[in-house]
Chain A
Amino acid sequence: MIKFLLKGILRDRSRSLLPIIVVSIGVFLTIVMSAWMKGIFTDMIDMNANFTTGHVKIMTRAYAENSNQMPLDLALLGIDELKQNLEKDYPDMEWVSRINFGGLLDVPDKNGETRAQGPAACKAIDFFHNPKEIERMNISKSLVKGSIPKKPGEAIISDEFAEKFGVKLGEDVTLFGSTMNGSMLFKTFTVCGTIRFGMTMLDRGAILMDISDAQLALDMENGSTEILGYFNDGNYDKLKVEEVTNTFNSKYSKENDEFSPQMHKLEEQSGLGDYLAMADGMIGMMITFFVIAMSIVLWNTGLLGGLRRYTEYGIRLALGEEKKHIYKTMIYEAILIGIIGSVLGTILGLGMAYYLQEVGLDFSEMTKNISMMMPPIYRATIFPDLFYIGFIPGLIAMVSGNALAGLTIYKRKTSQLFKELEV
């Protein structure tokens, strides 16, 4: 019967073309939107993980309570020993220490007095020994001029700052602020590069230096404001994170010691948990929306088809075919059309999603005044679910539409068939 129905669908295009087109469009939109939304959420979460939260982050309990103020005096100390223990306890993760702090970046004139200055968001990472950190923060690709710091005393500053105040490569800038103990921080760096991350928050006045320079300048020997943990495979695994966090905190974090380390999951930081839940919720909502919307459209298409094929069903009933059989063939036909439309829509959708994954859409102009950490180019992400996700609205909507429309067959009365057929 399937073969017979398939022949019917292929030969009588007037009965199959419109439903296939409608299903394909619906599936195409479901896939593209799902991939794009997943891409946006994944990008934002990855960016936050790479720049600020890690897959997990360790801070002192006191620092964590006031982390938005970046209180250097509450930083972690004895990090070398702690990192050694972490590497031993969790060998499938990489542990990196970073220091974030605020200050004032001051550009001297020829007399050593202030020529220009602006607020600085300072980030110290392990430039000299950990190339993964450079890659993780996309520093090489974001460099506008110069190179990454190769020796102590070198720093990269924001290109926007350099352009605004006419700072050239090789010139000195002084960082002014407070050390971990509250002493005045005066540290002069030679500008070895300028950078543009494409994120307004960082591009306004970032300065990046090696962590050893920052430790020295901030009186923070063997200390850092945070230790970030990343899974070696790069994937954020909620179950693993839960396990790592629980075991670490029960071993190292002490409630009565505010300077004891405490591990925080990605989703516990910067409201990212809500964000992850929102991402899942929105993708689910979108699929539901498409199923409902397409069911209505396809029900309508089924009704139109039913009306158009009113005579055909009448003749088939007159010839003695059972109503149940006609209804069954109609549903099988809908399944076949649903499958064809879904396959077509999935192929087209995946193609478009791939394009958006590789090229993306540039929203940097629209987001330039937003201080939240957001990617400048929004890209889609192809994920395994996309290969079947389109079949849910494609098949369900088509079959339910036809099933509803097909119920009219049962309302036909054989006694009136010939009158209806005007025989």
Chain B
Amino acid sequence: MKNILISLFTFLFLGSLSAQNANKIIEKVDANMSSKNRIVESSMIIHGKRNSRTITSLSYSVGDKKSFTEYLSPARERGTKMLKLEDKLWIYSPSTDRIIQISGHMLRQSLMGSDLSYEDMMDDRKLTEVYTAKVVGEENIDGRKCYILELKAKVVDVAYYSQKIWIDQEYFVPLKEDLFAKSGKLLKQTTFSNVKKVQGRWYPTKMVYKDMLKQGNGTEFIVNSMKFNQEIQEYIFTKAALKQ
């Protein structure tokens, strides 16, 4: 009986310690990955079944509520703009001069044929706000020591119910992510690399997304330049800015 009680308390104590550690780890990840605002110029290389395309864009975002993206190239996409305010998304097409609001199941559609969905692009919340975490092990990825964390959603409005995430033990940035549906099915896999120090925080500047339900060779997302905590004019986050 004594032994059983000792085992039980040890188990509960270690479990609670693991949760505390995990929370600290994802807080540190959030500190690196989230910011008051940021301006990012990026290239998205979409490897399709028949060909590959590179799309460059310039994004402005404030917290996880507002973001504005303008596509710069190729010519087919130039001038297309996207505005996200809270949970709403508008897209402007210069060829039709129309602003279309995207909602419902369309948010789960692929963004420009990539392995990212509109929903992926919109959800920029901190991990600590959305998931509860548990450390489940340690592993080396490309020679870097990582914590392996299991995250479970604590809110309802989340695209992926659970995640398995590998966190670099030195830089506290994710190096790999497996994203799962509630059923346990693996939906997406992301790898992060080229971790650089930008304005005092570590940030992976190359991400490779793979939609596991889609054919193709994945989508590379490369951060060409990134600035945190800049002065961003408020008018950018209005529908009027879409047509300008």
What is A's interface to B at a CB cutoff of 8 Å? 62, 66, 71, 73-74, 104, 106, 108, 112-114, 117, 119, 174, 176-179, 181-184, 186-188, 219, 258-259
What is B's interface to A at a CB cutoff of 8 Å? 46, 48-51, 53, 76-77, 80, 91, 93, 95-103, 105-106, 109-110, 112-114, 215-216, 239
Which residue on B lies nearest to A178, using beta carbons? B113
A183-B101 contact given A73-B113, A174-B96, CB 8 Å threshold: no
Partner of A66, one of B80, B100, B215: B215
A182-B48 contact given A66-B215, A71-B215, A104-B106, CB 8 Å threshold: yes
Partner of B215, one of A62, A181, A188: A62
Q: Say whether B100 contacts A176, CB under 8 Å.
A: yes
21 pairs, A vs B, C-beta closer than 8 Å: A71-B215, A73-B216, A104-B102, A106-B100, A114-B100, A117-B100, A174-B98, A176-B91, A177-B109, A178-B110, A181-B48, A181-B113, A182-B48, A182-B114, A183-B112, A184-B77, A184-B112, A186-B93, A186-B100, A188-B96, A259-B50
Question: Which residues does chain B contribute within 8 Å of A66, judged by CB atoms?
Answer: 215
- What is the distance, in angstroms, from A55's C-beta to the closest C-beta of chain B? 29
Which residue on A lies nearest to B216, using beta carbons? A73
Question: Which residues does chain A contribute within 8 Å of B96, judged by CB atoms?
Answer: 174, 186-188
Q: Say whether A73 contacts B100, CB under 8 Å.
A: no
Cα distance, A179 to B109, chains bound together (Å): 13
Q: Say whether B105 contacts A108, CB under 8 Å.
A: no
Cα distance, A213 to B40, chains bound together (Å): 36
Cα distance, A182 to B54, chains bound together (Å): 11
Q: Say whether A182 contacts B53, CB under 8 Å.
A: yes
Q: Say whether A74 contacts B49, CB under 8 Å.
A: yes
Question: Which residues does chain A contribute within 8 Å of B216, judged by CB atoms?
Answer: 73
Question: Which residues does chain A contribute within 8 Å of B46, judged by CB atoms?
Answer: 182
Question: Which residues does chain A contribute within 8 Å of B110, judged by CB atoms?
Answer: 178, 182
- What is the distance, in angstroms, from B46's C-beta to the closest C-beta of chain A? 6
Question: Which residues does chain A contribute within 8 Å of B114, judged by CB atoms?
Answer: 182
Partner of A174, one of B48, B100, B106, B109: B100
Q: List 19 additional A-B contacts (Cβ < 8 Å) besides A73-B50, A182-B110, A186-B95.
A: A62-B49, A62-B215, A66-B215, A73-B48, A73-B49, A106-B100, A113-B239, A114-B99, A114-B101, A174-B96, A176-B91, A178-B113, A179-B113, A181-B48, A181-B76, A183-B112, A184-B80, A188-B96, A219-B76
Shortest Cβ-Cβ A-B pairs, 4 listed = A182-B113, A186-B93, A114-B101, A186-B96
Question: Which residues does chain A contribute within 8 Å of B103, judged by CB atoms?
Answer: 117
Which residue on A lies nearest to B97, using beta carbons? A112
Q: Say whether A108 contacts B98, CB under 8 Å.
A: yes
Question: Which residues does chain A contribute within 8 Å of B112, judged by CB atoms?
Answer: 178, 182-184
Q: Say whether A117 contacts B48, CB under 8 Å.
A: no
A183-B77 contact given A62-B49, A73-B50, CB 8 Å threshold: yes
A181-B53 contact given A62-B215, A71-B215, A119-B105, CB 8 Å threshold: yes
Partner of A178, one of B97, B98, B99, B109: B109
Question: Which residues does chain A contribute within 8 Å of B50, judged by CB atoms?
Answer: 73-74, 259
Q: Say whether B109 contacts A181, CB under 8 Å.
A: no
- What is the distance, in angstroms, from A52's C-beta to the closest C-beta of chain B? 22
- What is the distance, in angstroms, from B194's C-beta to the closest C-beta of chain A? 24
Question: Which residues does chain B contribute within 8 Å of A182, judged by CB atoms?
Answer: 46, 48, 53, 110, 112-114
Which residue on B lies nearest to A182, using beta carbons? B113
- What is the distance, in angstroms, from A234's C-beta to the closest C-beta of chain B? 36
Question: Which residues does chain B contribute within 8 Å of A258, judged by CB atoms?
Answer: 49
Which residue on A lies nearest to B50, using beta carbons? A73
Cα distance, A254 to B197, chains bound together (Å): 50
Which of B98, B99, B105 counts the most A-chain CB atoms under 10 A from its CB? Answer: B98
Cα distance, A106 to B110, chains bound together (Å): 18
Cα distance, A112 to B114, chains bound together (Å): 27
Q: Say whether B98 contacts A184, CB under 8 Å.
A: no
Q: Say whether B93 contacts A113, CB under 8 Å.
A: no
Which residue on A lies nearest to B48, using beta carbons? A73
Cα distance, A383 to B98, chains bound together (Å): 55
Cα distance, A176 to B49, chains bound together (Å): 22
Which of B46, B91, B99, B113 counts the most A-chain CB atoms under 10 A from its CB? Answer: B113
Question: Which residues does chain A contribute within 8 Å of B102, judged by CB atoms?
Answer: 104, 176
Question: Which residues does chain B contribute within 8 Å of A74, judged by CB atoms?
Answer: 49-50, 215
Question: Which residues does chain A contribute within 8 Å of B51, judged by CB atoms?
Answer: 181
Question: Which residues does chain A contribute within 8 Å of B109, judged by CB atoms?
Answer: 177-178
Which of A176, A258, A259 counts the most B-chain CB atoms under 10 A from its CB? Answer: A176
Question: Which residues does chain A contribute within 8 Å of B93, judged by CB atoms?
Answer: 184, 186
- What is the distance, in angstroms, from B101's C-beta to the closest C-beta of chain A? 4
